[in-house]
């Protein structure tokens, strides 16, 4: 399970680097508003996924993993928002931090459904839930990044 989660984190880091290179090379083609929308959407979904995977991987206290994932999400938002202007820098940072907080809370509920007064699901084990949600959010990342890439081509 650890190998799977580390592989997923490496895959998402490669996706972040790839989308940053693509957006950096085409940054002169789009307006400030379009760049801000791209920074918000990419940083939000990428930080959500990274925070979720970090919480699954590191079995440490929730407050520390929340801080760590907020730093990671804010960094992703700053990287993607810095391509356009100061306003997109702030919105990318904000969406990165909010996405990372959402990802941490989502993974906490996946690991312990009683946090939200949900009945525990005994039909699926914890490992199956982690793999299912990891693959689902990876498909969301691929869909979001492909839509951003398609919007650059049009």
Over residues 97-128, the pLDDT tens digits come to 999 999 999 998 888 888 887 777 665 688 88
Q: Would residue 5 count as lying in a domain?
A: no
Structure tokens at 89: 């820098």
What per-residue confidence (pLDDT) applies to 32? 79
pLDDT band at 49 (very low <50, low <70, confident <90, very high): very high
Q: Is 31 left (phi over 0), alpha (psi -120 to 50) or beta?
A: beta
Domain range holding 106? 35-112+129-148
Q: Would residue 22 count as lying in a domain?
A: no
44 touches 92 (CB < 8 A): no
Q: Would residue 154 count as lying in a domain?
A: no
**Percent of the chain topping pLDDT 90:** 40
The whole-angstrom distance between residue 82's C-alpha and the CA centroid of its chain comes to: 17
Q: What's the whole-model pTM score?
A: 0.88
Q: Would residue 99 count as lying in a domain?
A: yes
Q: Would residue 118 count as lying in a domain?
A: no
Residue 26 phi, psi dihedral angles, 5° rounding: -110, 20
Q: Would residue 86 count as lying in a domain?
A: yes
| Domains in the chain, number | 1
Q: Would residue 143 count as lying in a domain?
A: yes
């Amino acid at each position: 399970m650890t190998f799977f989660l580390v592989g997923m984190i490496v895959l998402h880091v490669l996706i972040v680097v790839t989308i940053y290179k693509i957006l950096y090379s085409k940054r002169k083609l789009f307006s400030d508003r379009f760049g801000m929308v791209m920074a918000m959407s990419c940083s939000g979904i990428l930080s959500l996924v990274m925070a979720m995977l970090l919480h699954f991987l590191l079995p440490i206290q929730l407050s520390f993993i929340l801080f760590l994932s907020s730093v990671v999400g804010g960094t992703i938002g700053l990287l993607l928002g810095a391509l356009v202007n100061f306003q997109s820098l702030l919105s990318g940072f904000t969406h990165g931090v909010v996405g990372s907080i959402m990802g941490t809370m989502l993974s906490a509920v996946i690991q312990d459904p009683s946090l939200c007064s949900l009945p525990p699901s005994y039909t699926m084990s914890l490992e199956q839930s982690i793999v299912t949600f990891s693959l689902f959010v990876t498909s969301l990342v691929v869909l979001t990044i492909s839509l951003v890439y398609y919007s650059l081509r049009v």
